[in-house]
Amino acid sequence: MGAQAGCANANFVSTSTQTGNYYEEPAKKLPVRKFDVVVAGAGTGGVVAAIAAARQGAKTALIEVKGYPGGTVTEGGTALHSFYNLWKAFPGAKKRQVVRGIPQQIIDRLLKIGACSGHAEMSKGYNYDSVCTAIDTEMYKLVTFEMLVEAGVFVCVNTLLTGAIMDGSRIRGVIAESRSGREAFYAKSFVDCTAYGDLSAYAGADYTEPNDYPVVNSIGLANVSWEKLYDFLEKHDAIIQQAEGIRSGKSGQIVRIQGTTAKLPGDFGAESRKIGMSMVTTSVHDNYFMFIKLNFKMPVSPTSRDEVAKAELELRRRQFRAVELFREYIPGCEKAFMARTSPKLCIRRGRLIICDYDISHEDVIEGRRFDDDVMAYGFHDSAPRYQIKDGGTYGIPYKALRVAGIENLLAAGMLITSDHRAHMSTRNTVCCMGQGQAAGTAAALCAAKNCGSRELRYHDLRAALVKGGVYFES
């Protein structure tokens, strides 16, 4: 798939609306709200960015189109990869928790209410990840909402960010729409955590749309038996990943399992391939498989509204078929039903925003460090094919979060890193969260010092991050 360069407004026009007829919208006076920092998108990275900015003392607004914070961490994958380095796969490598700070504080809060497996060590398949951190996705939404409010963030849910107000290469404000009306949010610094890079695109930043992953809508499957699934896979020697942690309040329970369908009897494997279903799931509750993923490769980028509509329907059909397959083939699932779906399909990458530095695959696997690192990270989603040298970590530099060409805009999350293989590392949840803490902290410091993102002294940023609990390996 070739990457397409694009400019925001051209891509926001769906081909089916290009009829040659236009309606000229009359100009409107919008009420203005003023902040130090505006974070766009209350997802995996955005939640952490907004908490970090507010804790620095910045008057912070967070704009989220859905009715809850959390984003793809509550909708997409199976577990949070990864707070740790891959120590189990490298004899002699020292075990260390490399992502701490606000991301770990979220985990601590979840653990207190029985909504997390803990950092459960993998007992099989640990050359993929050394731990499995699974969450109760609904409790994650509540816990992060409460943490945002406690930090003093002005949380605007059910609010769509629809534009940027520019003053040359500086963002003066953003436009947001909700049932309370259309408003302008002015601020000194901005962070784009929309996953699709909406704010960067509106601000005129350059980006690509590689469309090199399938889109997904995973399901939660209830009324199932972990024990029977385990016995069935074990009987066919089909288990390739396994982790034991806290499930329904009891330690030592299986919380992650992956089976290879190639070894299973009957047509389960062939039929599941037809619907792009993967046989890996996690849970923090008995009788529930939290994520069964259904993949679908769209012919064009998921920024096309009309193509997304077709994909949404196709994924709903695949979800229904997935339940049928589990009921028919997997013991203990005879009366399974779909307990959750995502409100919309999930992407692994939509737009990739051009930043001052683009992390390369060599940077990742060689475990490179930079003189402006804002965090360390040690997981690669293509392991064991690609792993970080010696089970170590690499650094995410501050320059990789600065949106190129815009004075006061940072980006955090799946929208950075153009190289597909490097992105297989940087896009993972815990990396997005760590980036969020760095970007939110930097945005608040820039606002306090009245400076652009490139004028911020690294020394000041690093000191604030260390104070915020961020771990640096060197």
Ligand X SMILES: Cc1cc2nc3c(=O)[nH]c(=O)nc-3n(C[C@H](O)[C@H](O)[C@H](O)COP(=O)(O)OP(=O)(O)OC[C@H]3O[C@@H](n4cnc5c(N)ncnc54)[C@H](O)[C@@H]3O)c2cc1C
Closest distance of CB 265 from ligand X, Å = 27
Span 255-294, contacts to ligand X by CB under 6 A: 293
d(CA 69, CA 407): 27
Which lies closer to ligand X via its Cβ, residue 74 or residue 408? 74
Listing from the earlier edge strand, what are the strands of the sheet with 189-192?
154-156, 60-63, 37-40, 189-192, 409-411
Question: Minimum distance from CB of 67 to ligand X (Å)?
Answer: 10
Give the C-alpha separation, 394 to 85, whole Å. 10
State which residue, 358 or 460, has the beta carbon closest to ligand X: 358
Q: Which residues lie below 8 Å from residue 275, measured CB to CB, with a gap of 6+?
A: 294, 318, 321, 322, 325
Residue 147 CB, shortest distance to ligand X, in Å, is 15
Among 8, 36, 56, 78, indicate the residue that binds ligand X (CB under 6 A). 78
CB closer to ligand X, 279 vs 332: 279
Interaction residues for ligand X, span 327-346 (CB under 6 A) = 346
* DSSP states along 296-325: E--SS-TT-HHHHHHHHHHHHHHHHHHHHH
Residue 433 one-letter amino acid:
M
Stretch that binds ligand X, among 194-202, 239-247, 324-332, 444-452 (CB under 6 A): 194-202
Minimum CB distance to ligand X, residue 136 (Å): 15
Closest to ligand X by CB, 77 vs 378, is 77
Residue 470's nearest CA partner among 383, 368, 398 is 398
The residue among 41 and 468 lying less far from ligand X, judged by its C-beta, is 41
Which CB atom, from 105 or from 223, has the smaller least distance to ligand X? 105
Is 347 among the residues that bind ligand X (CB under 6 A)? yes
As beta bridge partners, residue 28 has: none
What residues contact 297, with CB distance under 8 A and at least 6 apart? Answer: 213, 214, 215, 276
CB atoms within 10 A of CB 324: 12
Question: Does residue 120 bind ligand X (CB under 6 A)?
Answer: no
Of 216, 255, 375, 401, the one binding ligand X (CB under 6 A) is: 216
- Site membership for ligand X, residue 440 (CB under 6 A): no
* Residue 235: CA count within 13 A, CB half-sphere: 10
* Nearer of residues 264 and 352 to ligand X, judged by Cβ: 352
Q: Which is nearer to ligand X, 199 or 332 (CB)?
A: 199
Question: What residues from 308 to 327 belong to the interface with ligand X (CB under 6 A)?
Answer: none
CB-nearer residue toward ligand X: 432 or 444: 432
Q: How far is the CB of 235 from ligand X (least distance, A)?
A: 26
Nearer to ligand X, 87 or 196 (CB): 196
Rule CB under 6 A: is residue 102 a binding residue for ligand X? no
Told to check if 125 binds ligand X by CB under 6 A, we report no
Residue 72 binds ligand X, judged by CB under 6 A: yes
Q: With CB under 6 A as the contact rule, which of the stretches 53-61, 114-122, 300-308, 411-419 interacts with ligand X?
A: 411-419
C-alpha torsion 259→260→266→271, nearest 10: 100
44 binds ligand X (CB under 6 A): yes
| Residue 116 burial class via C-beta count within 10 angstroms: exposed 0-12, middle 13-18, buried 19 and up | buried
Please tell me the count of residues contacting ligand X according to CB under 6 A: 39
Stretch that binds ligand X, among 75-83, 93-101, 226-234, 351-359 (CB under 6 A): 75-83
Taking the C-alpha atoms of 124, 130, 136 and 138 in order, what is their torsion angle to the nearest 10 degrees? -130
Choose one: 41-49, 114-122, 138-146, 249-257; the region binding ligand X (CB under 6 A).
41-49
Q: Tell me, rounded to whole angstroms, the distance of Cα 365 from its chain centroid.
A: 21
Report the C-alpha gap between 327 and 387 in whole angstroms. 37
Question: Rounded to whole angstroms, how far apart are CA atoms 359 and 395?
Answer: 10
Which amino acid, one-letter code, is at 412?
Answer: A
Residue 47 or 465: the one with the smaller Cβ distance to ligand X is: 47
Binder among 198, 206, 307, 372 for ligand X (CB under 6 A):
198
| 142: exposed, middle or buried (Cβ count in 10 Å: 0-12, 13-18, 19+) | middle
Pattern 416-435, ligand X, x by CB under 6 A = -----------xxx--x---
Give the 3-state secondary structure of residue 421. Answer: helix
CA distances from 132 to 5, 82, 125, 191, 257 (A): 37, 8, 11, 29, 10
Interface residues with ligand X (CB under 6 A) are 41-46, 63-66, 71-73, 76-81, 160-161, 193-196, 198, 216, 218, 293, 346-348, 413-415, 427-429, 432
